[in-house]
Structure 1
Amino acid sequence: MSILVTGSSGRVGSAVVSRLLKEGETVRGFDLRASGRAHPDFSEVTGALSDAQAVETAMAGVTHVLHLGAFMSWAPADRARMFEANVEGTRVLLDAAAQAGATRFVFASSGEVYPENVPQFLPVTEEHPLHANSPYGLTKLLGEELVRFHQRAGKMETVILRFSHTQDAAELLDETSFFSGPRFFLQPRIRQQEGFGNHAAADILRAADPGVPAHVVARNENGRPFRMHITDTRDMVEGVLLAMLSENAAGQVFNLGATEPVDLAGLVHAMAASTGLPVVEADLPGAGVWYHTSNDKIRRVLRFEPQWTIERMLEEAVQARRARLAKTGT
């Protein structure tokens, strides 16, 4: 096999590349930024997904495509760029893969195509209506339609994976993490909400600020804490490789993520027990995030079985935080 991995410098993409190289595969990366990886079986092309010439170069000799690259943003100013990367980029990549004779194309979609944050029923299965209500979710839904078009054309096998929220375990207790900082720490969440223009939420959070570093438990306007899936990157890698290799995956759509959702209130209090930081609770406008997405299909069909529970992830996060603090002397 010769495998093209888009988003090869990203969280999941770089982990997939490392795993494939460890298993002796020939891998080509494609990303906007170079990885700096040096390995005899690895090459890479830098460029935008919508750059047909760069994609054609990257596709030369490829048999399998793992399309993990995407642009995610909540900023209105980034919307055109997001559609260019996630929709037009996916079209360009699919056309090039079909033309090059690739045999399988795995597409990383998202639970936002349902959308998970306002589900019609729980748990959310692959049969849930596709009603994307975020620009990012819409780009992924349009990407899925492009993939399904190529599946119907019959030139290559395709697999759609609807990704759960993904984290490296070591990020969970890192205030500077793009996702975990605002999710679990008060000051990063205030900055995030201000950046989104959610000034009402920022004001509520600021009013609860004890004046020292603190964790935050976000609840909806009725006081219900948030609940969502958090999946370790290593489990996501396993799912991606099963989708690439399994005969049973061809033409299928799978939710890929942890089996059980995480009660964020319970998780934050467990975090505080290790960090010693106070916990602030804040009721924010809106319905909040509260969902359970089923991974039953991928477990049945591909024998996927997540190994990294949130408890195991937190244990690793505690060790990583201690190492960071020891290095900085704080």
Structure 2
Amino acid sequence: MKVLITGAAGRIGSCATDRLLARGDTVRGMDRRATGRSAAGYDEVVGSFDDAGAVARAMEGVEAVLHLGAFMSWAAKDRPAMFAANVEGTRVLLDAAAQAGVKRFVFASSGEVYPENAPQFLPVTEDHPLLANSPYGLTKLLGEEMVRFHQRAGSFEAVILRFSHTQNAEELLDEDSFFSGPRFFLRPRVAQQRGFGNEAVARLLEAADPGAPAHILARNEAGRAFRMHITDTRDMIQGLELALDRPEAAGGVFNLGATEPVDFPALLEKMSAITGYPVVTVDLPGAGVYYETSNAKMRTELGFRPEWTIGRMLVEAAEARAARMRK
């Protein structure tokens, strides 16, 4: 099978490419930056998803599409680019896929379409109302609607996957990582919030700085610690394969992520034992992050079996951190 993977230079796209090539598929990557990959069975088109010419070239001879590429940002200045990539780019890709006779189109959506940070009930299932409250979530919701339009039109088989938060295990204990740095380490969190322009929050965090590197246990304004899903990239790849291959997936919408949510107090205690850093507790303004999303539908209907629990991820993260420290 020849598969187009958008976002091929990204974390999930790169791993998906590795997996499909290993099992014998032919892969064409598409991203705004070159992957530098040189492998039998792989070629790529460098370009934006809203560039109709580049998309038409990428779609030539393709049987299936994994549309993983997206622009994610919390900065207001990035909204035009985010809507161009995630909305107009998805429209261009869908139209080109229909024109090219693609058989299956798998769309990477997000739990932000619900939204997970303000759930009406728990656990969040695929039947939860779609009430996106972030610009990124809105772009994904609009993308879903366009996918459903093509599905109704009979353009191809479509599968919508609402992605959990995803990380490579080795990122968990890396202060410099994009997600885990500011999520679990105090000073990277200060830098992140200052970069967002949230000066009041940055000062609140700075006031808790013990004068040495520290972890942060974030709680909401009522003192409730955060809870969320953290899914290993390898489990996401398993889910993508099922969406690509299983006949039962056609026309479906599935939450793709870890089975159990992560409670931050227990996780931070384990992280602290590995790093030796103290854990600083800070109550932040707002409702905070606290949710549980059900993957039962994907497990029941497609046989999804996530293997990388947060415990297994943390063991690998500790090994990766030790290796970095030895350098």
TM-score interval (norm. to shorter): over 0.9
Deviations 1:187-235 (A, max 9, x none): 0000111111222221111000011111100000011100000000000
Q: Distance in 2 between matches of 1:306 and 1:42?
A: 27
Q: What secondary structure sits across from 2:88 in the alignment?
A: helix
Counterpart in 2 of 1:118? 118
Q: What secondary structure sits across from 2:209 in the alignment?
A: coil
Q: What secondary structure sits across from 1:79 in the alignment?
A: helix
Counterpart in 2 of 1:248? 248
Counterpart in 1 of 2:271? 271
Q: Distance in 2 between matches of 1:148 and 1:87?
A: 14
Counterpart in 2 of 1:234? 234
Q: Mind listing any 5+ residue stretches in structure 1 that lack a counterpart? A: none
Counterpart in 2 of 1:156? 156
Deviations 1:161-184 (A, max 9, x none): 000000000000000000000000
Q: Which amino acid aligns with 1:101?
A: G
Counterpart in 1 of 2:67? 67
Counterpart in 2 of 1:7? 7
Shift of 1:269: 1.2
Q: What secondary structure sits across from 1:205 in the alignment?
A: helix
Q: Distance in 1 between matches of 2:301 and 2:201?
A: 42
Deviations 1:221-255 (A, max 9, x none): 01110000000000000001100100000000000
Q: Mind listing any 5+ residue stretches in structure 2 that lack a counterpart? A: none
Deviations 1:40-59 (A, max 9, x none): 10000000000000000000
- Are residue 144 (structure 1) and residue 123 (structure 2) matched? no
Q: Distance in 1 between matches of 2:28 and 2:243?
A: 18
Give the number of equivalent residue pairs: 327
Q: What secondary structure sits across from 1:305 in the alignment?
A: coil
Alignment of 1:87-126 (within 5 A): 87-126=87-126
- Are residue 179 (structure 1) and residue 173 (structure 2) matched? no
Counterpart in 1 of 2:260? 260
Q: Distance in 2 between matches of 1:283 and 1:265?
A: 13
Q: Which amino acid aligns with 2:76?
A: P
- Are residue 310 (structure 1) and residue 301 (structure 2) matched? no
Deviations 1:59-96 (A, max 9, x none): 00000000000000000000000000000000000000
Q: What secondary structure sits across from 1:45 in the alignment?
A: strand
Q: Distance in 2 between matches of 1:216 and 1:157?
A: 44
Q: Which amino acid aligns with 2:10?
A: G
- Are residue 198 (structure 1) and residue 203 (structure 2) matched? no
Deviations 1:254-304 (A, max 9, x none): 000000100012111100001101111100000000000000000000000
Counterpart in 2 of 1:165? 165
Q: Distance in 1 between matches of 2:250 and 2:274?
A: 44
Q: Distance in 2 between matches of 1:80 and 1:50?
A: 12
Q: Distance in 1 between matches of 2:167 and 2:40?
A: 29
- Are residue 216 (structure 1) and residue 216 (structure 2) matched? yes
Q: Distance in 2 between matches of 1:134 and 1:265?
A: 26
Q: Which amino acid aligns with 1:279?
A: V
Q: Which amino acid aligns with 2:290?
A: W
Counterpart in 1 of 2:131? 131
Q: Distance in 2 between matches of 1:144 and 1:100?
A: 20
Q: Distance in 1 between matches of 2:77 and 2:201?
A: 21
Moved over 4 A (4+): none
Q: Distance in 1 between matches of 2:58 and 2:155?
A: 19
Q: Distance in 1 between matches of 2:94 and 2:39?
A: 27
Q: Distance in 1 between matches of 2:186 and 2:154?
A: 50
Q: Which amino acid aligns with 1:33?
A: R
Q: Distance in 2 between matches of 1:155 and 1:144?
A: 15
Q: What secondary structure sits across from 1:243 in the alignment?
A: helix
Counterpart in 1 of 2:34? 34
Q: What secondary structure sits across from 1:298 in the alignment?
A: helix
TM-score (norm 1): 0.99
Q: Distance in 2 between matches of 1:269 and 1:50?
A: 45
Give the share of equivalent positions with the same residue, in percent.
69
